[in-house]
Amino acid sequence: MVKKKFLLVFLALVFLLGAGNDSSKFVEKDVEYTGEIEQAKKKLEKSIKIDSSDYESYYQLGCIYFRESKHRKAIKYLNRCLEINPEYGKAYFVLGRIYYDLNQDIRARQYFEKAKKFLEQEKDSENLKMVEDFLRNLSCKSRCMGPSCSN
């Protein structure tokens, strides 16, 4: 359990330090572990082999692959996370981000709407705010049919 905590903490640091925008905040922030991302992947894979119902490890692997722009792998792991825990709002948020980045706005909106529902239930106001921002951006984008739109 302690190793898993360190791993989650490390992953949070990687996302918080490596991202260029606020979307990196969807990962936990109690950070102390500093290691290599490949080592983290191996530990998460090992964790999944030990316990295939560990949805958080699938989620963390999905986040790593998202940050590496390996969208297919990220989607695979995030979908597996949601098969195990279909109410995990953060996984819907990351899937929304992937489809948003891929300019698949309809899919992005679907995932953001689900994320919003579950994050409201979880009372996760920080991630909820980011989801609402993305939904606003999508609404603006669809109204303006272009990148420049003011609210």
Tokens of 39: 């080592």
In a domain, 8, yes or no: yes
In a domain, 25, yes or no: yes
In a domain, 78, yes or no: yes
In a domain, 149, yes or no: no
In a domain, 71, yes or no: yes
Q: Is the pTM of this model over 0.75?
A: no
Domain hosting residue 102, numbered range: 2-144
Residue 149: band (very low, low, confident or very high) from pLDDT cuts 50, 70, 90 = low
Q: CA quadruple 26, 28, 33, 38: dihedral positive or negative? A: negative
Residue 36: band (very low, low, confident or very high) from pLDDT cuts 50, 70, 90 = confident
More confident residue, 74 or 25: 74
In a domain, 47, yes or no: yes
The number of distinct structural domains making up the chain is: 1
In a domain, 66, yes or no: yes
CATH code, domain with 107: 1.25.40.10
In a domain, 38, yes or no: yes
Is the distance from CB of 58 to CB of 84 less than 8 angstroms?
A: yes
Quick: pLDDT tens for 77-98: 999 999 999 999 999 999 999 9
